[in-house]
Structure 1
Amino acid sequence: MSTVADVVRVLEAAYPPGLAESWDAVGLVCGDPADTVEKVLVCVDPTESTVDEAIETGAKVVVAHHPLLLRGVHGVPADTPKGALVHRLIRAGIALFCAHTNADSADPGVSDALAAALGITVTGPLAPNPDGRTGIGRLGELAEPEPFAQFVDRVSRALPHTEGGVRAAGDPHRWIKRVAVSGGAGDSYLSTATAAGVDAFVTADLRHHPAAEHLAVPGAPALVDVAHWASEWPWCGQAAGILRTGLGGTVTVDVSVRRTDPWTTQAACAPNRTGRFTG
């Protein structure tokens, strides 16, 4: 029988805490390391919905990518949203483990899972650590070059649906072969992707000004902007596989089916009735 401590051991071997950024909060948030575990649920976000799912499915460990308590807290009263989740987890005997920027930098990590989902063969990190193997983001190549419009469709088909969908910026006829990907918010790596000489950069949470300034640079890679949650969801399957192997099949490991992207509705834009605006 495996324990919470066994789950932690396997995850920390795959996603070493030392790879986490100094500001991050990773590791075991709540739970007794000595408790036995028969089922684990892997998700992107520790939210009310995924805690509901854990309770409904009988999971005794929730493994989340995003930290629940990223910023310092002085208490977890049950009448606050995050405190309520902590109390629900403890009352249900469910442990919570978070692997965030350590999972981003690990090899394999979050961006490896994203690249695999898109059919990209990884060649190395986008922003490597000193060891040259780990680091944020990944560089890679498609098996065959394809027009940017086709590549955007590839991304849309590969990732789970979200209301925000997939946005793209670039010449639809541009040929795409070399690609950079970075799961989660990646606009701080726009110049890094340009310096790497890739044809396209896939990431999330791109903002107006950084994207516009990036695109003004001659030769800058085309951009594909996806939902933050969708860009990191493929990691859940990676982490689940690591747990199944590391625990020798003694624990059932499920990937959450709850979409925790916060955006729930998208309104279609009205046609340009004034005739004053052009692309």
Structure 2
Amino acid sequence: MALIGAGAVSRTAHEKIGGMSESAPGAATVSDVVTALETAYPPELAESWDAVGLVCGDPAEPVRRVLVCVDVVRETVEEAIELGAQLIVAHHPLLLRGVHGVAADSTKGSLVHRMIRAGVALYCAHTNADSASPGVSDALAEAIGLRVLAPLSPHTSTEHGATGIGRIGELPEPEPFGAFVERVAQALPTTEPGVLGAGDPDRPIRTVAVSGGAGDSYLGAATAAGVDAYVTADLRHHPAGEHLESVGRVPALVGLTHWASEWPWCGQASTVIGAATAGTVEVHISTRSTDPWNVRAG
């Protein structure tokens, strides 16, 4: 997989928390990091179908290094082991659907065995991180340069403030859609599919809706919000096409890969961990692209 500014990313994350040596006293535990993450991303905000929380590992084990990533795959598990990390914090769950076993000769089972044998715990924050404030879409909005105004699809719970899926934001000044698409491309890690725009290149863009991850189910919400553009991932042909053919004013579309749209959250999560562990934990942001599309022709 491709690397994206490996030295700069890891160094920036390290500087945020003032990382300490392995022998530093008062080491944090897996439980300490989990508590910090669940304070920032309350599990009760997760969708009913989701699987969030500690997947494997001993809550009482000490943690000196953490790797934050989007996907738990062979590359990121090996990256954690190479770093000497005791914990992986991932956005996407490894075991989202019910399983009856984690045999070492199965794809996901092999990862579970690899982590346990290497003493690496795994924690996943998924739709709870999507809905939290700040959460995944706040990180995407910040990367693009938006000032967040409100959730795109507010959460039914008000206990945790302005939570919900997606965000509505605005640019400091209007800019042509063509320039806005370029802005998005420059703000996010490079992927082979790149960033795609659908709309008049000269259309002025000021208000923008964003949704990290697959967001074509919120096309109607973005339209109802009256924004100029909508940025999300995994836009499918028919929903996008029908949206653009709708009668009346609809947002222009910016399509991303799923991984790129959620990668900015890794920096946000690393800050949460660093603030809670008072410099006793080194937090590294994975620099390995886990976007599955890695070859482009034409």
Q: How many residue pairs are counted as aligned between the two chains?
A: 268
Paired position in structure 2 for 1:275: none
- After TM superposition, the runs of 4+ consecutive aligned structure 1 residues lying more than 2 A away are none
Any idea what SS the aligned residue of 1:145 has?
strand
Matches within 5 A, 1:120-159: 120-130=146-156, 131=158, 133-159=162-188
Structure 2 counterpart of 1:167, from 185, 193, 196: 196
Match status 1:104 vs 2:130:
yes
Structure 1 counterpart of 2:54, from 28, 31, 48: 28
Paired position in structure 2 for 1:201: 230
Any idea what SS the aligned residue of 1:244 has?
helix
Q: Give me the whole-angstrom Cα distance separating, in 1, the residues matched to 2:206 and 2:286.
A: 32
Deviations 1:122-148 (A, max 9, x none): 001000013260000000000000000
Any idea what SS the aligned residue of 1:176 has?
strand
Matches within 5 A, 1:242-257: 242-257=272-287
Deviations 1:32-74 (A, max 9, x none): 0010000000000000000000000001000000000000000
Q: Give me the whole-angstrom Cα distance separating, in 2, the residues matched to 1:48 and 1:129.
A: 34
Any idea what SS the aligned residue of 1:202 has?
strand
Deviations 1:152-193 (A, max 9, x none): 000000000001101110000000000000000000000000
Letter in 2 for 1:38: R
Task: Give how far 1:248 is off.
Answer: 1.1
Q: Give me the whole-angstrom Cα distance separating, in 2, the residues matched to 1:120 and 1:256.
A: 24
Paired position in structure 2 for 1:240: 270
Match status 1:214 vs 2:243:
yes
Q: Give me the whole-angstrom Cα distance separating, in 1, the residues matched to 2:235 and 2:28.
A: 41
Structure 1 counterpart of 2:212, from 183, 191, 206: 183
Task: Give how far 1:247 is off.
Answer: 1.1
Task: Give how far 1:251 is off.
Answer: 0.5
CA RMSD of aligned residues (A): 0.6
Query: What is the TM-score with the length of structure 1 in the denominator?
Result: 0.95
Paired position in structure 2 for 1:277: none
Paired position in structure 2 for 1:263: 293
Match status 1:53 vs 2:83:
no
Task: Give how far 1:89 is off.
Answer: 0.3
Unaligned runs of 5+ in 1: 269-279
Letter in 2 for 1:239: A
Unaligned runs of 5+ in 2: 1-26
Report the identity percentage.
69
Any idea what SS the aligned residue of 2:243 has?
helix
| Greater RCO, 1 or 2 (C-alpha within 8 Å, sep 6+) | 2
